[in-house]
Copies of this chain bind each other. A is one copy, B any other.
Amino acid sequence: MTRLSIIGLGPGNPDQLTPEAQNALAEATDLVGYGPYVSRVQAPAHVVRHQSDNRVELDRARHALEMAMQGRRVAVVSGGDAGVFGMASAVFEAIENGPPEWRGLDIHVVPGISAVLAAAARIGAPLGGDFCVMSLSDNLKPWEVVCRRLRLAAQAGFVIALYNPRSKARPWQLGEALAVLRDVLPLDIPVAFARAIGRTDERVLLATLETADPEQVDMSTLVLVGCPLTRRIMRDDGSAWLYTFRKVPQ
């Protein structure tokens, strides 16, 4: 059966790429994805790299499906996990709206270590209880929906992981999001900014909901906002771990 793979490359550290993903990449004749992720893959010279910018997911998905139908071994790649704000959903959207024969393809989605899991591990155990994962970008949803979801997530007591917290086009969103959360949550709740985890330039900043400064965040940062049960353990060297206490009171 003609196959297309959708592969999560993990956060960037090659040690966090699974053997399953490595094997699927090794079979590919064509790599499709956002430029920096396609560039990251080590592949023989005969493998064709189809790089595109970050706003054309559906075109990119259709192109990958067309090539797969022609018998190419196509690997669509995303950073982290392809199912979490990556390419997987765009590929299935293209299939749903494409020619019926695309539904005959063998689609192999290969999970990867997502940014939220890598960031949490680097910080301690902040996801120790129930949590949610949201994108702050308003490219695909109205900003009012983002704010409403933030408020409900905080009311639920979820730890909140925020992808795409900031870009040049929308430098104001994280500040507004933190303001929404400050309306609901105690101001001393821990907040972590985890930038480029698993890469050589990784950096973690810890703050609280009161002191968190959006100016310290860029598009490569994952923001983790704790819940009322998230605690900070101070260490002698001035660093700290965050973890979320498992037992929830009545």
A: residues with CB less than 8 A from B are: 6, 8, 10, 13-20, 23, 57, 81-84, 88-93, 95-96, 103-104, 107, 109-114, 117-118, 120-122, 124-135, 140-142, 144-145, 148-149, 152-153, 155-158, 231, 233-236, 241, 243-250
| Residues of chain B within 8 A of A104, CB atoms compared | 235-236
Indicate if the CB atoms of A89 and B243 lie closer than 8 Å. Answer: yes
Task: Say which residue of B8, B103, B132 sits within 8 Å of A131 (CB atoms).
Answer: B132
Indicate if the CB atoms of A110 and B103 lie closer than 8 Å. Answer: no
Cα of A23 to Cα of B16 in the assembled complex, Å: 11
Task: Say which residue of B96, B118, B141 sits within 8 Å of A247 (CB atoms).
Answer: B141
| Residues of chain B within 8 A of A117, CB atoms compared | 8, 81, 83-84, 111-112, 114, 117
Task: Say which residue of B6, B23, B112, B144 sits within 8 Å of A15 (CB atoms).
Answer: B23
Q: Given contacts A134-B130, A153-B156, A243-B93, are A16 and B20 in contact (CB under 8 A)?
A: yes
Cα of A64 to Cα of B245 in the assembled complex, Å: 19
Cα of A117 to Cα of B112 in the assembled complex, Å: 8
Indicate if the CB atoms of B96 and A231 lie closer than 8 Å. Answer: yes
| Residues of chain B within 8 A of A110, CB atoms compared | 121
Indicate if the CB atoms of A92 and B132 lie closer than 8 Å. Answer: no
Indicate if the CB atoms of A83 and B15 lie closer than 8 Å. Answer: no
Indicate if the CB atoms of A133 and B131 lie closer than 8 Å. Answer: yes
Residue of B nearest to A131 (CB): B133
Can you give 9 A-B contacts (C-beta < 8 A)? A8-B121, A17-B19, A82-B121, A89-B246, A92-B233, A109-B122, A130-B133, A132-B132, A148-B156
Cα of A88 to Cα of B19 in the assembled complex, Å: 24
Cα of A142 to Cα of B248 in the assembled complex, Å: 7
Indicate if the CB atoms of B18 and A17 lie closer than 8 Å. Answer: yes
Indicate if the CB atoms of B243 and A88 lie closer than 8 Å. Answer: yes
Cα of A168 to Cα of B131 in the assembled complex, Å: 25
Shortest C-beta distance, A162 to chain B (Å), equals 10
| Residues of chain B within 8 A of A234, CB atoms compared | 103
